[in-house]
């Protein structure tokens, strides 16, 4: 190279360095962690700001597809294979990418990696609905702690959970990922899980904010809901979770709320979430959610996930054209940087990839047993008598137990303990001939129902095996030789699709026949039948519940599910779960039933966002039932239900005495003594419902849950005094005209109850 060329090259390099330094502000040594966040923001170019607000993409989905893989939802190009996404790194400023992965039933990552012999299994904990059924926040926090440890030790920074949308209708396909039809129970459970997870120094993302109560056309549907119902029912749980859990992030939902995409709603994301509730973390979109990035940033939706390059361009163009104020961009950049700074990856945490899976298996086994709900127990059928040794297990899911739902809420666990495995572990003998028949039947059904190839297959529920109903001769022989019959009814569902009525909410004809025929054959032989419900959402029970002696609602109980059921059946654990929702007599009784999409399987009608078509329950859904969701409706109108909210039996028996009510600051303290007068140990969930004075301007539900407390394990004869506090603000309802919460004057009824339909004492106070 001659001197002139060398000189030209040197000048070029010098200019490039200078340009870089100028573009990035005056000080090229600015680094996140060493410099203040304000200095980092000041040093960033508009392009870098836009890059930071848009996630790094998803393989094959318009992001970095450099690994050449086919599009695969749930797969990632990120640092932890199988995580849902990452933020964008900006090395020049010392900003690393951080990793976000699903929940809620455990950490969802890929269990195996190419060219790597090691495994990366996550523990499948019980589904969210089961956790809510424990009504035990300390235990929920322990589960959160164990999940958070896996998040930390597998190198993930933020868990995309918990999810706390309201169970508005039993057929929402994702209800298993959510807690309850009641916002207080939802919020308290979510806050406990957030505290548990974040205690590990990793983040959570409470989702999906807000009013995401159906899967049908979830990316286009407009939830039309009154401001009062929004505040009292659909936002209340989030308010509690935000104030009492302090999550690092919130995930906005796909749907619109009263015409505006949740991710584009400044009212939701800034006025309510931040100004009213004091949330100081970051908000991210649900995956590919919303339409207009500039509106999202202005609304206070800081991160677009998983991120597409066109979104970066849209931010840059909007700022340049004046459509988006750079101040809004800076506010979001600041919040994303604050999130990054909190993350273990930024702090250089050396994760082990070896969480203590054996310890977590114990956590999931115990928590699952505590959330199972004993719906029926005639003649003391349970716990199984000491003489019961041999079990005839019916129902395909006895052998192919469902640990959790599908979609992003699924976990890649190492194993699932089926019901029959659990029973054998507990020392019971399974009827071998029946077991062989079921195994053969299942093999044939699985062969018939082989999932189609393709990335979505693993994401959707597999086709359910048809039920096998033994003929009468075989049944009678079984009833003669086995000590007890178990009949498992299984259900699965997941995102993208709401559940169906026929054969899903309703029992299939074969299932109903199985329950009836087995119960009758075993009754003829003087033996008992127990139905196990291995389900993620409510099913019809009124038409068949008279047949079996006992019904145990086991939910989808995580990878140790079979062991947990055996713990309850055998009496090692006394059931103490209570329903977090109502089981209606008929689906038509559900207050939102006229305004819920029915029988839309994906691929059937066109469910893409087409608001112009204005199809009821697809393009928009009227929340006409307003605040009267679940028991608020059934109890106010005296409707018969199959199993009420808050219901659940125990092997123990609880007496309530000495109820008391006293002023506590501006609110009240309500107390009661619970005594176990039964012969077995047990825990009781004391529920406090409040009936507000009538107000014609804002019709009030007959009663609403305002607090709850679970006793410790009470031995026979033992008692515990329980106190539940209610602040004055908790008695308020939302006055939409005034735009504020109001505590009406008048008499308030405080009901101490064992379920919403089993009130043990009522006290009144006048304000």
- Please, which residues have CB within 8 angstroms of residue 306's CB and are 6 or more apart in sequence? 55, 56, 57, 58, 61, 63, 76, 84, 85, 287, 288
Strand partners, 99: 86
CB of 177 to ligand BGC, least distance (A): 7
Closest approach, Cβ 290 to ligand BGC, in A, equals 13
Contact set for ligand BGC, span 347-386 (CB under 6 A): none
Please give the torsion angle defined by the CA atoms of residues 365, 370, 373 and 377, in that order, rounded to the nearest 10 degrees.
Answer: 90
Residue count, binding to ligand BGC (CB under 6 A): 9
Annotated catalytic residue within 140, 157, 182, 286: 286
- Provide the minimum distance between the beta carbon of 497 and ligand BGC in the complex, in angstroms, as a whole number: 12
Near ligand BGC by CB under 6 A: residue from 109, 160, 607, 724: 160
Is residue 426 within 8 A of residue 419, CB to CB? The reply is: no
CB of 97 to ligand BGC, least distance (A): 16
Cα→Cα distances 349→33, 156, 201, 344, Å: 15, 10, 10, 5
When the beta carbons of 339 and 478 are compared against ligand BGC, the nearer one is: 339
**Is residue 303 part of the contact set for ligand BGC (CB under 6 A)?**
no
Q: Is residue 286 involved in binding ligand BGC (CB under 6 A)?
A: yes
160 or 194: CB nearest ligand BGC: 160
Binding mask 508-537 for ligand BGC (x = CB under 6 A): ------------------------------
Q: Given the complex with ligand BGC, which of 247 and 490 has the nearer CB atom?
A: 247
Active site residue 431: no
Gap between the terminal Cα atoms of the chain: 92
Please tell me whether residue 483 binds ligand BGC under the rule CB under 6 A. Answer: no
215 lines the binding site for ligand BGC (CB under 6 A): no
- Out of 377, 408, 488, 595, point to the residue binding ligand BGC (CB under 6 A): 408
List beta partners, residue 390: 429
Interaction of residue 287 with ligand BGC, rule CB under 6 A: yes
φ and ψ of 378, to 5 deg: -75, 140
SS3 495: coil
Pick the closer one to ligand BGC by CB: 106 or 570.
106
Output b/e per residue, 597-636; b: 16+ Cβ within 10 A: bbebeeeeeebebeeeeebebbbbbebebbbbbbbbbbbb
Burial 279-306 (b: 16+ CB within 10 A, else e): bebbbbbbbbbbebbbbbbbbbbbbbbb
Identify the three-state secondary structure at position 341.
Answer: helix
Binding of residue 207 to ligand BGC (CB under 6 A): yes
Specify the DSSP element, H or E, that contains 423: helix 419-425
365 closest CA partner among 563, 650, 554: 563
Q: How far is the CB of 160 from ligand BGC (least distance, A)?
A: 4
Rounded Cα gap, residues 663 and 731, in angstroms: 14
Closer CB to ligand BGC, 102 or 413, in the complex: 102
Cα separation, 143 vs 138, in Å, equals 9
Residue span 569-608 as binding mask against ligand BGC, x where in contact by CB under 6 A, dash where not: ----------------------------------------
Q: Is 722 in the site for ligand BGC (CB under 6 A)?
A: no
CB of 204 to ligand BGC, least distance (A): 11
Question: Nearest approach, Cβ of 245 to ligand BGC (angstroms)?
Answer: 17
Q: Should residue 102 be labelled a site residue for ligand BGC when binding is judged by CB under 6 A?
A: yes
Rounded to the nearest 10 degrees, the angle between the axes of helix 46-53 and helix 309-321 is: 130
Q: Restricting to residues 60-79, name those near ligand BGC by CB under 6 A.
A: 74
Tell which one of 370, 495, 625, 720 touches ligand BGC (CB under 6 A): 495
305 in Cβ contact with 100 (< 8 Å): yes
Alpha carbon separation from 767 to 83, 134, 174, 752 (Å, rounded): 52, 33, 40, 19
Active site residues: 286
State the residues that interact with ligand BGC by CB under 6 A. 74, 84, 102, 160, 207, 286-287, 408, 495
């Amino acid at each position: 190279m001659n001197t002139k060329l060398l000189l030209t090259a040197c000048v070029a390099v010098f200019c490039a360095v200078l340009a870089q330094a100028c573009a990035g502000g005056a000080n090229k040594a600015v680094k996140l962690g060493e410099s203040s966040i304000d200095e980092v923001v000041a040093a960033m170019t508009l392009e870098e700001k836009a890059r930071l607000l848009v996630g790094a993409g998803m393989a094959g989905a318009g992001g970095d597809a450099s690994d050449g893989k086919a599009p695969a939802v749930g797969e990632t190009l990120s640092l932890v294979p199988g995580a849902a996404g990452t933020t964008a790194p900006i090395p020049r400023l010392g900003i690393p990418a951080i990793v976000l992965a699903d929940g809620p039933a455990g950490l969802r990552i890929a269990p195996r990696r190419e060219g790597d012999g090691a495994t990366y299994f996550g523990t499948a904990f019980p589904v969210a609905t089961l956790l809510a059924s424990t009504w035990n926040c300390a235990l929920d926090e322990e589960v959160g702690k164990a999940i958070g440890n896996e998040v930390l030790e597998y190198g993930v920074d933020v868990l995309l959970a918990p999810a706390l949308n309201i169970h508005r209708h039993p057929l929402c396909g994702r209800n298993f990922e959510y807690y309850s039809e009641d916002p207080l129970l939802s919020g308290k459970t979510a806050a406990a899980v957030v505290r548990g997870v974040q205690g590990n120094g990793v983040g959570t993302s409470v989702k999906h904010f807000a009013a995401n109560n159906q899967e049908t056309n979830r990316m286009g549907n407009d939830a039309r809901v009154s401001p009062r119902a929004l505040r009292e029912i659909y936002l209340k749980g989030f308010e509690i979770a935000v104030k009492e859990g302090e999550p690092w992030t919130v995930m906005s939902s796909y749907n619109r709320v009263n015409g505006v995409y949740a991710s584009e709603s400044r009212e939701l994301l800034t006025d309510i979430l931040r100004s009213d509730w004091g949330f100081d973390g970051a908000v991210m979109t649900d995956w590919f959610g919303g339409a207009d990035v500039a509106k999202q940033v202005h609304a206070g939706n800081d991160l677009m996930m998983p991120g597409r390059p066109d979104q970066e361009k849209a931010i840059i163009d909007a700022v340049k054209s004046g459509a988006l104020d750079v101040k809004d961009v800076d506010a979001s950049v600041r919040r994303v940087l604050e999130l990054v700074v909190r993350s273990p990856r930024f702090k250089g945490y050396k994760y082990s990839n070896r969480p203590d899976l054996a310890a977590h298996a114990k956590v999931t086994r115990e928590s699952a047993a505590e959330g199972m709900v004993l719906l029926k127990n005639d003649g003391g059928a349970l716990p199984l008598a000491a003489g019961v040794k041999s079990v005839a297990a019916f129902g395909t899911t006895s052998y192919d137990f469902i640990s959790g739902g599908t979609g992003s809420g699924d976990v890649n666990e190492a194993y699932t303990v089926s019901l029959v495995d659990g029973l054998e572990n507990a020392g019971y003998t399974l009827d071998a001939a029946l077991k062989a028949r079921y195994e053969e039947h299942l093999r044939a059904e699985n062969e018939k129902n082989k999932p189609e190839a393709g990335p979505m297959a693993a994401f959707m529920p597999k086709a359910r095996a048809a039920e096998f109903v033994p003929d009468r001769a075989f049944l009678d022989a079984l009833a003669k030789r086995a000590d007890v019959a178990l009949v498992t009814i299984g259900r699965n569902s997941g995102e993208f699709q709401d559940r169906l009525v026929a054969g899903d909410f309703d029992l299939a004809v074969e299932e109903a026949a199985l329950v009836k025929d087995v119960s009758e054959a075993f009754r003829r032989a003087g033996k008992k039948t127990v139905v196990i419900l291995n389900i993620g959402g409510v099913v019809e029970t009124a038409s068949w519940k008279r047949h079996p002696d006992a019904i145990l609602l086991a939910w989808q109980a995580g990878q140790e599910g079979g062991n947990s059921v055996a713990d309850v059946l055998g009496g090692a654990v006394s059931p103490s779960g209570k329903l977090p929702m109502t089981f209606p007599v008929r689906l038509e009784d559900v207050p939102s039933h006229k305004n819920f999409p029915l029988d839309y399987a994906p691929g059937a009608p066109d469910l893409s966002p087409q608001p112009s078509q204005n199809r009821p329950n697809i393009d928009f859904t009227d929340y006409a039932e307003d605040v009267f969701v679940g028991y608020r409706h059934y109890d106010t109108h005296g409707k018969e239900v199959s199993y009420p909210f808050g219901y659940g039996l125990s092997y123990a028996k609880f007496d309530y005495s000495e109820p008391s009510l006293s002023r506590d600051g501006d609110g009240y303290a309500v107390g009661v003594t619970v005594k176990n007068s039964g012969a077995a140990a047990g825990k009781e969930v004391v529920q406090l419902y409040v009936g507000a004075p009538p107000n014609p301007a804002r019709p009030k539900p007959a009663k609403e849950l305002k607090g709850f407390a679970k006793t410790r394990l009470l031995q026979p004869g033992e008692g515990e005094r329980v106190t539940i506090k209610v602040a004055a603000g908790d008695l308020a309802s939302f006055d939409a005209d005034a735009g504020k919460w109001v505590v009406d004057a008048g008499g308030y009824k405080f009901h101490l109850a064992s379920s919403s339909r089993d009130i043990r004492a009522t006290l009144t106070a006048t304000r």
